[in-house]
Structure 1
Amino acid sequence: MVKTIGEVAAELGIEAHVLRHWEDVGALTVGRDGHGYRVYDDKAVEQVRTVLKLRRVGLSLPEVTAAMAPTKSAAQAVVRAKITHLEGEIAQRQEAITFLRHTVECRHRYLDDCPDCASFVRDA
């Protein structure tokens, strides 16, 4: 069964212009009917779902395009790089949480008076 761009967009809760853009940048490959209209078969709809999921987990469109490369090793390299980046963000957020928890529980009236707070600031 084939679907129109509007049907796919509505089904997935995105705008049709987003699908056109994804196709323009090479993240999607969509067939055309005899009149030149885009037609989405089951394979194309799954490809859209994959692009949508990759975007939602934080990949940029160039990363998505690379992650959908025909060779598995190329795709894995992009995903591994994204994992490394996200792990770095998690570590930074964890440090922020540790610092903020300390400031909430700190016995000093002013953070400048606290040697632990000063240590956190120096490590920044």
Structure 2
Amino acid sequence: MRTIGEASTELRVEAHVLRHWEQVGALTVRRDSHGYRVYDDEAMEQARTVLKLRQVGLSLPEVRAAMTPKKTAAQEVVRAKIAALESEMARMRQALTFLRHTVECRHRFLDDCPDCAAFAREP
């Protein structure tokens, strides 16, 4: 059993973050007879899962959906995030290609280079 301070230290997040996760329904925490939050092993494991999902880019609504007991609903959220990340990675690869070209481009101005102009026209 941990207090919110102990849990936040162990998880390396601020206590207000744990309160927020609980407030939006991403984390369930028991209360003791005095109304204080009590972080048992189950709550800590749930908090670790929320933290990891946040670290890989899921929003709190996505975290809630990914942690639903319905596996198909959770998989749908995760698949959508995978697709979004793959799309972002493709965009980043295009950006790197463009930037690498501009560094090595023989033209004084990017507007003078047909390759740079072609990159600029890409969506």
TM norm structure 2: 0.96
Counterparts of 1:10 and 1:76, CA distance in 2: 31
In structure 2, what is the equivalent of residue 62 of structure 1? 61
Alignment of 1:11-90 (within 5 A): 11-90=10-89
Runs of 4+ in 1 over 6 A off after TM superposition: none
In structure 2, what is the equivalent of residue 121 of structure 1? 120
Structure 2 unaligned regions, length at least 5: none
Alignment of 1:81-100 (within 5 A): 81-100=80-99
Amino acid at match of 2:106: R
Amino acid at match of 1:31: R
Say which SS state the counterpart of residue 77 (structure 2) adopts: helix
TM norm structure 1: 0.95
Deviation at 1:38, TM superposition (A): 0.9
Counterparts of 1:14 and 1:117, CA distance in 2: 44
Deviation at 1:41, TM superposition (A): 0.8
Amino acid at match of 1:11: E
1:112 counterpart = 2:114? no
Amino acid at match of 2:43: A
Say which SS state the counterpart of residue 35 (structure 2) adopts: coil
Counterparts of 2:18 and 2:115, CA distance in 1: 51
Structure 1 unaligned regions, length at least 5: none
Deviation at 1:117, TM superposition (A): 0.9
The number of residues matched between the two structures is: 123
Q: State the identity %.
A: 73
Deviation at 1:11, TM superposition (A): 1.0
Deviation at 1:108, TM superposition (A): 1.2
